[in-house]
Amino acid sequence: MSRAKTLYDKHIDSHTVCTLDDAGHVLLYIDRQVLNEYTSPQAFSGLREATRPVWRPATALAVVDHVNPTAPNRVAAMPDAGGARQVAYLAENCRDFAIELFDVLDKRQGIEHVVAPEQGFILPGMVVAAGDSHTTTYGALGAFGFGIGTSEIEHLLASQTLVYKRLKSMRVTVTGELGPGVASKDIIMALIERIGAAGATGYAIEFCGPGIDALSVEARMTICNMAVEAGARGAFMAPDDKVFAYLRDKPRAPRGALWEQAVARWRHLRSDPEAQFDREVRIDASQLQPMVTWGTSPDQAAPIDGCVPDPLQQPDLILRRDLQRALAYMGLEPGQPLKGVPIDHAFIGSCTNARIEDLRQVAEVVRQRKVASHVRAMIVPGSTAVRDQAEAEGLAQIFRDAGFEWRQSGCSMCLAMNDDVLQTGNRCASSTNRNFEGRQGAGARTHLMSPAMVAAAAIAGHLTDLRSL
């Protein structure tokens, strides 16, 4: 009898064109790829130089997300010459290589990891590679997604394959129910805090258990999206009825008899019961509190009623110096309670937490309340479709009434590649996924948390427990 397989094994085995060596390298077939203006230019230039065509243009979709402005009255023109060049070159490449592009003014436009699922472009069982590390998001749909570099994008465009080395597998079993005010963001932030920012390096993570089953597809995407912040180059969740309901009738999902056949196959996409994982981690969701980061790495996090750690308690001198540096950058004192740290900015956006469900949760918190007078708060929906939906549901009006800027979609202040940039010393409560030094602007300080927690901080004017607002 054949060996019991994990969901990861099943994806890799079914997409292996051939084995390349004894060290675990295979030639892997890739079903879909998403391109953006920021990481694709050199790949296309390479193809042009070698006069190579794109083999299967219909398997790629291109979006503009990293550099586009989010000003409420959107115009196609980029405010800076660099961004304008990237966007124009993407359009030229898509035209010349026959790849579909959702350009800045397209109604289907948005952050790639929000747009691709929304379109039904990513389906269970697929292997997806893209020039962006948060391609792991697609694990929530039962697909295997991972980020690749520019030269790999070129290889993929030309051949639909990649040279790939098998990863080890980790299973994260989530039991228990999340308490009120605790979100899927807190599950993944707690995991990263526990295993460290490199804790899953070399692994693909499968998330399972009743704590995952209970989550919506959007909430699951938040977890798979941030799995890469623990170092994982791939995250999985077995697709279930919620995923099928999410995908049904999406523009690119199969229809009619094909849909029925597809779902029947997708139901087999789960790890065999006896499959062995290289590492097992368990999380009890009922024990979790809303999490916030205090440092400059996503694993430097604590529950909101915790305190900033004291570097002097850290015996390892190198780690102690890292901690001291993080606290100096963040302008925080050892032992300082996290609750009450004053903020001047609040940002709700990004491929982690700017889907419609996130915005509904934010609206619950800010309804009939006002953003603190010293806080600049903005909401950047994950896609134009999310933006339109939020308008239709009346959420946008709630945000505006509360004093939030309601902007157009894009990556925006998640990494400040457009004109949404913080100044040195600004402190921002942020629903994003990375709190690295300079991520939201040189010298700016980022505290990661769930979107509802950002909303609560915007209202209070400082980090706070949304459950006591």
3-state SS class at 347: strand
| Six token digits for residue 156 | 């993929």
* Nearest alpha carbon to residue 362 among 332, 323, 390: 390
Annotated binding residue 208: no
Site for ligand SF4 contains 415 (CB under 6 A): yes
DSSP string, 22-44: TTSEEEEE--BEEEETTTSHHHH
DSSP string, 89-119: HHHHHHHHHT-EEE-TT-TT-B-HHHHHHHT
Candidate list 33, 93, 350, 430; residue touching ligand SF4; CB under 6 A: 350
Site for ligand IPM contains 347 (CB under 6 A): no
Site for ligand SF4 contains 132 (CB under 6 A): yes
Annotated binding residue 428: no
Candidate list 302, 351, 379, 453; residue touching ligand SF4; CB under 6 A: 351
Q: Which does 111 bind (CB under 5 to 8 A by kind): ligand IPM, ligand SF4, none?
A: ligand SF4
Candidate list 11, 32, 134, 427; residue touching ligand IPM; CB under 6 A: 134
Report the nearest approach of ligand SF4 to the CB of residue 416 (Å).
9
DSSP string, 358-410: HHHHHHHHHTT----TT-EEEE--SBHHHHHHHHHTTHHHHHHHHT-EE---S
* Nearest alpha carbon to residue 306 among 295, 319, 320, 296: 295
Q: Which does 176 bind (CB under 5 to 8 A by kind): ligand SF4, ligand IPM, none?
A: none
Span from 19-27, 54-62, 156-164, 407-415 in contact with ligand SF4 (CB under 6 A) = 407-415
Annotated binding residue 351: yes
| Six token digits for residue 245 | 């309901």
Binding mask 146-185 for ligand IPM (x = CB under 6 A): -x--------------------------------------
Binding mask 433-462 for ligand SF4 (x = CB under 6 A): x-----------------------------
| Six token digits for residue 238 | 């077995």
| Six token digits for residue 2 | 């054949």
- Contact 227/205 with Cβ under 8 angstroms? yes
Site for ligand SF4 contains 297 (CB under 6 A): no
Site for ligand IPM contains 39 (CB under 6 A): yes
Site for ligand IPM contains 289 (CB under 6 A): no
Q: Taking each helix axis from N to C terminus, what angle separates 184-195 and 217-227, rounded to the nearest 10 degrees?
A: 20
3-state SS class at 149: coil
Residue ranges of the binding site for [4Fe-4S] cluster:
351, 411, 414
Provide the binding-site residues for ligand SF4, judged by CB under 6 A: 65-66, 111, 113, 132, 134, 350-351, 411, 414-415, 432-433
Provide the binding-site residues for ligand IPM, judged by CB under 6 A: 38-39, 66, 132-134, 147, 415
